[in-house]
Amino acid sequence: MKKVTGLGSAPASEPTAPSTYRAAVIGTGFMGRVHSHAVRANGGEVVGVAGSSLARAEAFSASHGAGRAHADALELVRDPDVDVVHVCTPNHLHAPLSLAALAAGKHVVCEKPLATDASTARDLTRAARDAGLTAVVPFVYRFHPMAREARARVASGSVGRVGLVHGGYLQDWLLRPEEDNWRVDPAVGGPTRAFGDIGSHWCDLMEFVTGDRISSVCAQTSRFNERRGTDGGRAVTTEDLVTLQFATESGAVGTAVVSQVSPGRKNQLVLEVSGTEGSLRFDQERPETLWAGGRERTGTVSRDDPGLSADAARLVTLPVGHPQGYQDCFNALVADTGTAVAGGEPEGLPVFADGLRAAVLAEAVLVSARERRWVDVPAAEDHTDRPKGPIRPGLYE
Ligand SMILES: NC(=O)c1ccc[n+]([C@@H]2O[C@H](COP(=O)([O-])OP(=O)(O)OC[C@H]3O[C@@H](n4cnc5c(N)ncnc54)[C@H](O)[C@@H]3O)[C@@H](O)[C@H]2O)c1
């Protein structure tokens, strides 16, 4: 494995120079910008960029300080000057680009969903394991300090035995029928849209915070819009919203509502956990505080709380009163990726196995909704073993 130094265990926002975290960024949209900024915020270098055309890559390179613009993403992946490949493209390209990067001996940060089906996600997870390379999936809400604080409090037992988990992830950017995006096309976005795109984030955060696993699901999917686009648009087959009921391995029950068509909701990811001693609520639109409820005393915890857990405190990079947010989470994710690449084991780094977990859950949700029944989710800690559970092959045929 190529040794990369530079980011190490430095605080997320503290640049370390000179760095040898030399990144390739593939995809010049929202995530391409956020990943590039995170690399540079950590003192790394974006040595090359590829987009859907050379012109787009050149424009991105000029405006974001990225190095060479490439017409061919695979050429960039194989560039000997590249240590870590950041895959920020539409979903159907995640697997081929990540596999090419691993085959070239490069570490990978691949956007979610890792793949558009669990079988491919399993192949990717195995390939990363066999290559011994760092392979990260940005379930980035894990990097809010107060989400870490919620996790630490559950792990410490301060909320008691968790019996109920609920919340959801609501957006409105696909409310209207004229609103369209590559995510709507199942050949590009995959067979699940709302769940795969944002429900996967909620489930990852839920399992991360509780340390528990969803063991069975009962889901409904629905659509506001049967057609999308202008001039009559195109027929839509993927879901606008999902309601999910679930049980966990340790015996908790829960619900989640996932929507891309809820007017006025921009990016409201809320997770509430109730145990026998207390409740916790994290809202990613108000990430500076954690609501902590109790029978005797209820209040909010802020990230300057003197009792903050060490794992939450290490992600605090600004004094309270100067809000930390989404980009800071990506900065921290890239810092921890650098630590992992350098041989360290940062706490809570989301890796390909977590991307595979999301793909396994997505299949269970789709089967449940289509067949209108409860579906067991394979219990394997590591889904690289083919599941023996009731999720049938042929889902994507
Ligand atoms: N982790 C998160 O919080 C988060 C947030 C948003 C999006 N995402 C994920 O990031 C990925 C990108 O989403 P986005 O919002 O940036 O989308 P986007 O539409 O803004 O950008 C996608 C980019 O991919 C480029 N592209 C298309 N075809 C390409 C090709 N053949 N080769 C190279 N580049 C190509 C496009 O030019 C575009 O710049 C998606 O998989 C999405 O699920 C993750």
pLDDT in tens, 374-397: 999 987 656 665 444 333 333 322
| Residue-level pLDDT at 20 | 80
With 0-12 CB in 10 A as exposed, 13-18 as middle and 19+ as buried, what is 206?
buried
Within 10 angstroms of residue 34's Cβ, the number of other Cβ atoms is 23
Measured distance CA(31)–CA(274) in Å, rounded: 33
Total residues belonging to the chain: 397
pLDDT in tens, 42-71: 999 999 999 999 999 999 999 998 999 999
* Domains of the chain with bracketed CATH: 22-140 (3.40.50.720), 145-324 (3.30.360.10)
Q: Are strands 107-110 and 45-50 parallel, antiparallel or unpaired?
A: unpaired
51 touches ligand 1 (CB under 6 Å): yes
SS3 state at 49 = strand
CB-based contact 304:320 (threshold 8 Å): yes
52 touches ligand 1 (CB under 6 Å): yes
Over the chain (397 residues), the average pLDDT of each successive run of 10 is 40 46 98 98 97 97 94 97 98 98 98 97 96 97 98 98 98 97 97 98 98 97 97 95 98 98 98 98 98 97 97 97 97 98 96 96 98 91 50 30
In which residue are the tokens 């974006």 written?
46
Atom of ligand 1 nearest to the CA of 91: 41
| Residue-level pLDDT at 382 | 61
CB-based contact 198:140 (threshold 8 Å): no
pLDDT in tens, 312-324: 999 999 999 999 9
pLDDT in tens, 177-193: 999 999 999 999 999 99
Pocket test for ligand 1, best of 35, 88, 93 (most atoms within 8 A of CB): 88
Measured distance CA(193)–CA(196) in Å, rounded: 5
89 touches ligand 1 (CB under 6 Å): yes
| Residue-level pLDDT at 385 | 53
- Residue 327, CA distances (Å) to 12, 40, 270, 332, 359 in order: 11, 12, 19, 9, 25
**From atom 33 of ligand 1, which residue's Cα is the shortest distance away?**
51
Measured distance CA(86)–CA(355) in Å, rounded: 15
Cis omega before residue 378 (within 30°)? Answer: no
CB-based contact 47:19 (threshold 8 Å): no
